[in-house]
Amino acid sequence: MPTRRKLLGWGAAAAATPALAACGEQAGAARMTSQAKTRPGQKVNLVFWTWVPLQKAVALWNKKNPDIHVTVQMVPANTSGGYQKMHAALKAGDPPDLAQVEFYALPDFMLANGLTDLSKYGADQLKDQYVDWQWKQGVFGGKVYHIPQASGPMGLFYRQDLLEKWDIEVPTTWDAYRDAAMKIKKRSGGSVITAFPPRNAQWFASFPWQRGAHWVRAEDDTWVVDLTSKESLEVADFWDGMIKDELVVPMQDSQSAFFKGLQNGQLVTWPGAQWWDALIRGNAPGTKGKWRVAELPQWNEGEHASSNWGGSSTAILQGTRHPKEALEFAHWLNSDPESIELLVAAGYGWPAAKVDLPKSPLGKPDPFFGGQRYNEVFQTSDENVDTSWRWSPTTVQSFAHIEDNIGRVLAGHGTFTDALKDAQKMFVDDLKAKGLKVRSAS
């Protein structure tokens, strides 16, 4: 069991890290991981919970590894109920062997003692095969608790044909993005530069992240919450202006109306993660050849600052009876070239394994994006992600406060600045409720 002074150590920066528990006991897994003995030739069956379409890669594994069979069971995505289902299974003592867990949710699972220490089974030896900052997302107290799967470096998807039609340059700064939005409003006859999703705190957080904000950080054994730094408030003020001047439309992403907007040209750009390539391709097929990708607009001209939206691990949950076999599969899934090619085709995101981009399917010219080698943009983005950004063990519930507050702003009550100031108090309260040491930066 984790001790009260167990330290969280994650992210690329070698910063001080806060204690997970200077607090009361946390509810956790009903049973601990142990390695079952198997007879020679005995078949091992593993269960993998995920919402990502990984079936083709898993089928390839099963074909190549008849002694270790993996069954994929689809669960609701993250905050739609997937994590609640996982935590319930942990408490009931009947968890799957493996589960899809996003980077931001890993501290929450650690706090509940829900992850298997993979260092016991040789995971440390795999480190050099993965992108360093992604690997460190699941390293706590110097031990490995995940195999990273993919991330979501940010970029700007845009309709080249429409920008050319209206004589608008691709914006390279956020000031230029606002200028482009005004021109689109005047010249298009009904299009807008993008949608603003009411319930997507991760999307919204990517912009303060890019600006250099740190919503949570560590000072010794204390969490410090800072949603109201000048960087965060600058971002809030930008989007307040975009909403006030009706330069964007409030519209939830990944819904039918949103995809219709991508298809018919109502939405001209989308600041999104790399894995949005598959979503645009699959949901706006009539726009083939019209899209391109650029770096995110910059807050300071000439920079290449970026951020990340999404990112997942293949986690081995506490309570499995086959941790060695589960680790073998998790590593193969996320590092084998054939598996990665199948995962890329399924749109799972930017690989966690180190890849040679020119030799990878990711590096090929793509007809849907007009023959652009668009992943070169995301490679640059991935190299410029601020890896000092931190996730707290209350991110799931704390981000719900952000979404509630944003919803009130879009309904005409207050500003995004107000929303962040109000959420600041809620973030602090969430951490206190877990019994963790915390203070507000303001």
Domain assignment present for residue 16? The answer is no
Give yes or no for residue 17 having a pLDDT over 80: no
Give yes or no for residue 5 having a pLDDT over 50: no
Q: Using 50, 70 and 90 to split pLDDT, how confident is the model at 442? A: confident
How many CA atoms lie within 13 Å of 259's alpha carbon, on the beta-carbon side?
A: 14
The tokens for 318 are 């506490």
pLDDT at 7: 32
Write out pLDDT tens, residues 197-247. Answer: 999 999 999 999 999 999 999 888 899 999 999 999 999 999 999 999 999
Pair type for strands 143-144 and 291-294: unpaired
Both 178 and 265 in one domain: the answer is yes
pLDDT at 293: 98
Q: Using 50, 70 and 90 to split pLDDT, how confident is the model at 27? A: low
DSSP string for residues in 316-328: EBTT-S-HHHHHH
Both 96 and 125 in one domain: the answer is yes
Give yes or no for residue 157 having a pLDDT over 90: yes
Domain boundary among 298, 333, 355: 355
Q: What is the Cα–Cα distance from 165 to 290, expressed in whole angstroms?
A: 12
Which is more confident, 60 or 218? 60
Contact between 102 and 312 under an 8 Å Cβ cutoff? The reply is yes
Both 301 and 399 in one domain: the answer is yes
Both 175 and 252 in one domain: the answer is yes
Phi, psi angle pair for 155, to nearest 5°? -155, 180
Per-residue three-class SS string for 372-398: ECCHHHHHHHHHCECCCCCCCCCHHHH
Domain assignment present for residue 7? The answer is no
The pLDDT mean for the chain works out to 91
Give yes or no for residue 390 having a pLDDT over 60: yes
Write out pLDDT tens, residues 314-357. Answer: 999 999 999 999 999 999 999 999 999 999 888 788 999 998 99
Q: What is the Cα–Cα distance from 226 to 177, expressed in whole angstroms?
A: 27
Domain assignment present for residue 27? The answer is no
pLDDT at 347: 79
Domain assignment present for residue 9? The answer is no
Which is more confident, 28 or 272? 272
> What percent of the chain lies above the pLDDT cut of 70?
93
Domain boundary among 329, 355, 381: 355
Overall average pLDDT of the 277-286 stretch? 95
> How far from 133 is each of 129, 305, 330, 382, CA to CA, in Å?
12, 16, 18, 10
Q: Using 50, 70 and 90 to split pLDDT, how confident is the model at 12? A: very low
Both 205 and 281 in one domain: the answer is yes
Q: Using 50, 70 and 90 to split pLDDT, how confident is the model at 279? A: very high
Overall average pLDDT of the 411-432 stretch? 95
Domain assignment present for residue 383? The answer is no
pTM greater than 0.85: yes
Q: What is the Cα–Cα distance from 343 to 409, expressed in whole angstroms?
A: 38
DSSP code at position 19: B
Neighbour count for residue 162 (Cβ, 10 Å):
19
Domain assignment present for residue 3? The answer is no
pLDDT at 79: 67
Q: Using 50, 70 and 90 to split pLDDT, how confident is the model at 180? A: very high
Domain boundary among 330, 355, 380: 355
Give yes or no for residue 8 having a pLDDT over 80: no
Write out pLDDT tens, residues 67-119. Answer: 999 999 999 987 678 999 999 999 999 999 999 999 999 999 999 999 999 99
Which is more confident, 305 or 28? 305
Count of domains observed in the chain = 2
Neighbour count for residue 93 (Cβ, 10 Å):
12
pLDDT at 18: 53
Both 144 and 188 in one domain: the answer is no
Both 209 and 275 in one domain: the answer is yes
Collapsed DSSP state (helix, strand, coil) of residue 365: coil
Both 302 and 417 in one domain: the answer is yes
Both 210 and 322 in one domain: the answer is no
Both 120 and 228 in one domain: the answer is no
Overall average pLDDT of the 411-431 stretch? 95
Write out pLDDT tens, residues 106-140. Answer: 999 999 999 999 999 999 999 999 999 999 999 99
* Residue labelled with tokens 């996982």: 86
**Structural domain boundaries enclosing 71:** 44-152+309-355
The tokens for 38 are 């198997």
Domain assignment present for residue 398? The answer is yes
Both 133 and 56 in one domain: the answer is yes
Give yes or no for residue 305 having a pLDDT over 90: yes
Both 76 and 188 in one domain: the answer is no
* Residue labelled with tokens 């409030």: 250
Which is more confident, 135 or 14? 135
> What percent of the chain lies above the pLDDT cut of 90?
83
Domain assignment present for residue 373? The answer is no
CATH code of the domain covering residue 340: 3.40.190.10
